[in-house]
Homo-oligomer: A and B are copies of this chain.
Amino acid sequence: MRTMNLKAKFMDFEAGLPFVVMNILDAKELGVYVNDRVTLSHGKIKKTAYIETTKHLVKTGEIGIRKESVKYGIKKGTLIKVVPSKRPASIEIIRKKLKGHELKKAEIETLVSEINANRLSDIELGVFVSSVYIRKLSQKEILYLTRAMISCGKCLDWGDRIVVDKHSIGGVPGNRVTPIVVAIVAACGVLMPKTSSRAITSPAGTSDTMEVFCDVSFSSKEVKRIVKKTGACIVWGGSLDLAPVDDKLIRIEHPLSIDPEGQVLASVMSKKKSVGSKYVVIDIPYGDGSKEGDIAGAEEIAKKFKWLARQLDMRAECTITRGDQPIGFGVGPVPEAIDIVDVFDGKGPDDLREKSLELAGILLKMTKKGNIKTAKDILDSGKAKAKFYEIVKAQNGVPGKDVRKLLGKHRKRFFASCSGFVVRLDNRAVARTAKLAGAPKDIGSGIILRAKKGDKISKGDLLFEIYAEQKYKLAEAEKYARKNSLFFVGAKNVMVVEMV
């Protein structure tokens, strides 16, 4: 295999597409072409990147790399070893899955390790994710995938402390129970080092909302310090290198809002295992507009979660919850932060409060520290609020900050065009509108609902408000919301009678 040693030259690019720049003569000499993959090494660090070629921007003998490479100890002029990448072994493995065959343990390990090393292109990852979506993963494959994802990342170790965790399957906008559950459970003395993702298919992930209050990106060492101090944390998992392949797959799933069931199982449980938790509650919303359309589907996936937890020496309880409308009033980072503050202040949306209490109650019961009543007492006593702001402070935030002030400057209100009952609230249309308004990137953007399912309303009543940081995004969200009904108002309140 041909090798070249080239001097690092920093290129002033922010982290975007993974490419390096070589002089066209060097590229020819090395036998690589534009868009070919090369492996770069410096000491023990190995990375894969795509080749861009240039005639002048980088001289022969040099290689243009990003400034962020300084984190690997690379300076201007450091010699980088460049080798044309071999065809990744995963290509045949992905083809096998595409054709509908079950993958073996070793194949899944190879695939995960090559994904981790950035050896696969977006095309290849797109094909893998869609193959998994359509062909599905067997239980065995899910277990192998979970274990492989755990073993290629770091794991947090809490000694013999009892560690709990929770996860909500996505799909329901505004489902921001985590900060409340964590505060209640931690206030009861149970360790809850909670890592969360950023938005995958929703207008905000727990990390996006939490970032309204405080920092969420920490190193493992910092997380240890925060948890030691407060008994909990609410941080973004991405910077901890726990099951890092999961994040790489989420990036691929994001643009098309695909998340195949098998991968969701592996994704959730690999993170929970890596973070060191033993007891986990999984919230599975079901119903019109949530990920599981019916109870049967929700029960099915609940069984798989419990099975997978046992294989990993953990215990999981699953709650099947109503997911046929947004939880709380706010959708988007700041709107959801407002709901959280209100729940801690004893006001807040009822559904958000009740759901948080139920989930906290289950975790307290699993760890023999109490039940839902304990959770209620802790919340109503103000101890949960105090714990929440203790965590916020430990994560460099300012306790008690007025998050309402952070709402986007641009607002559009929508009013009922007739009287009746709210018979349906479309999760997807709500989420889409909030995303068009700029959520989650623009934190002050999103929706505040002013009515929920079952509410009796009169013509002219305020139904919801769209907030946006950018005027043109408000216009796009408004246009969408006018074309696609978020609310359905009926003469009779038929839908209030639910099957649960």
Contact = CB atoms under 8 A, between A and B. Distances in A.
Given A125-B123, A125-B126, A126-B122, A98 B52 contact: no
A470 B16 contact: no
Given A122-B126, A126-B127, A12 B54 contact: yes
Interface in A1-59: 1-2, 11-17, 19, 21, 24, 31, 33-35, 50-57
Contact of A35 (B11, B17, B133): B17
Interface of A is mostly: mixed
Contacts of A91: 255-256
A131 interface: yes
Contacts of A118: none
Contacts of A129: 127
Nearest to A57: B12
Given A98-B134, A134-B131, A124 B13 contact: no
A410 interface: no
Interface in A75-109: 86, 91, 94-95, 98, 100
- Point out which of A52, A256, A257, A442 has the most chain B C-beta atoms below 10 A from its C-beta: A256
B472 A52 contact: no
A24 B13 CA distance: 10
A256 B34 contact: no
Given A13-B53, A130-B131, A256 B473 contact: no
A193 B442 CA distance: 54
Interface in A374-402: none
Nearest to A30: B470
Nearest to A135: B134
Contact of A473 (B31, B95, B135): B31
A445 to B, nearest CB: 11
Given A2-B470, A130-B130, A121 B13 contact: no
A312 interface: no
Given A127-B130, A130-B131, A131-B134, A14 B34 contact: yes
A98 B13 contact: no
A441 interface: yes
A252 interface: yes
A162 interface: no
A448 to B, nearest CB: 21
Nearest to A91: B256
A13 B57 CA distance: 8
Nearest to A33: B441
A320 interface: no
22 contacts: A1-B476, A2-B472, A12-B56, A13-B21, A13-B52, A16-B19, A16-B34, A16-B53, A17-B17, A17-B35, A17-B52, A91-B256, A100-B134, A122-B122, A123-B126, A123-B255, A124-B256, A125-B126, A127-B127, A127-B256, A127-B258, A130-B131
Given A12-B56, A14-B53, A31-B438, 20 more contacts: A1-B476, A12-B54, A12-B57, A13-B21, A13-B53, A14-B34, A15-B34, A16-B50, A17-B17, A17-B19, A31-B470, A31-B472, A91-B256, A95-B256, A98-B256, A100-B134, A122-B123, A124-B126, A126-B126, A127-B258
